[in-house]
Amino acid sequence: EVVMTQSPATLSVSPGERAALSCRASQSISSNLAWFQQKPGQAPRLLIFHASTRATGIPARFSGRGSGTEFTLTISSLQSEDFAVYYCQQYNNWPYNFGQGTKLEIK
Amino acid sequence: QVQLVQSGAEVKRPGASVKVACKASGYTFSSYAMHWVRQAPGQRLEWMGWVTAGNGFTEYAQKFQGRVTITKDISASTVYMELSSLRSEDTAVYYCARDLVASIMGYWGQGTLVTVSS
């Protein structure tokens, strides 16, 4: 099965600054990658799919890139509501594994 | 709008089974696949399996093979996930998530906490 590894585990960034989160797949998954945001006590929310397509209603400050095994989620100019845990997930092969998450915290 | 409303929290003894419901509304139920994902306390999200649209084909993660069953009742617009032989490690929040398109989980239920404790 495909193992998803995210880095860093925790990222401390000041509001208004840019954050870059990484996700690596153990084998090629083409562009079949999604990013989710999860806040405490809430269900995950889809941000990005097909590695770079924003879901409906997601602000343009969220962008994704990559293909194959290396992917990046970038959040430009962080807002207070962006501090959360972010998960990548591959949907190229069953089981559709998630990464362990990156916690984005206020610096 | 798409809504997925899950059944309430459950407390089960080790060895028992639990069946969680996910009632869908706001779209044509039979046109979209549904996934089940769980999250143990402080852990990553874990995909358990799915049931496809139309013929209701199911696929389960190998970790849960033999213990999980996903079914759907089209007349009730409801998908069910049953997990048997429960153990303490199955304590988690269980989510249903509807396909946006092509295996992408675009809409999520509110989650159901299942606690396994003696």
DSSP class of residue B76? G
Output the pLDDT for position B22. Answer: 98
What distance in Å separates residue B71's CA from the closest CA in chain A? 18
Residue B102 pLDDT > 90, yes or no? no
Output the pLDDT for position B63. Answer: 95
Structure tokens of A47?
């941000």
Output the pLDDT for position A78. Answer: 95
For residue B24, name the pLDDT band (cuts at 50, 70, 90).
very high
Asked if the C-beta of A96 comes within 8 angstroms of chain B's C-beta atoms, the answer is yes
CB–CB contacts below 8 A, A to B: 54
**Cross-chain Cβ contact B47/A95 below 8 Å:** yes
Residue B28 pLDDT > 90, yes or no? yes
Torsion of CA B108, A8, A20, A65, to 10 degrees: -60
Which positions in chain A touch B65 (Cβ < 8 Å)? none
- Give the tens place of pLDDT for each residue, A5-31: 999 999 999 999 999 999 999 999 999
Cis status of the peptide bond prior to A8, with omega within 30 of 0: yes
For residue B107, name the pLDDT band (cuts at 50, 70, 90).
very high
A75/A72 Cα distance (integer angstroms):
10
A20/A53 Cα distance (integer angstroms):
17
**Cross-chain Cβ contact A96/B95 below 8 Å:** no
Cβ atoms of B38 and B48 within 8 Å: the answer is: yes
Cβ atoms of A35 and A73 within 8 Å: the answer is: yes
Asked if the C-beta of A1 comes within 8 angstroms of chain B's C-beta atoms, the answer is yes
For residue B111, name the pLDDT band (cuts at 50, 70, 90).
very high
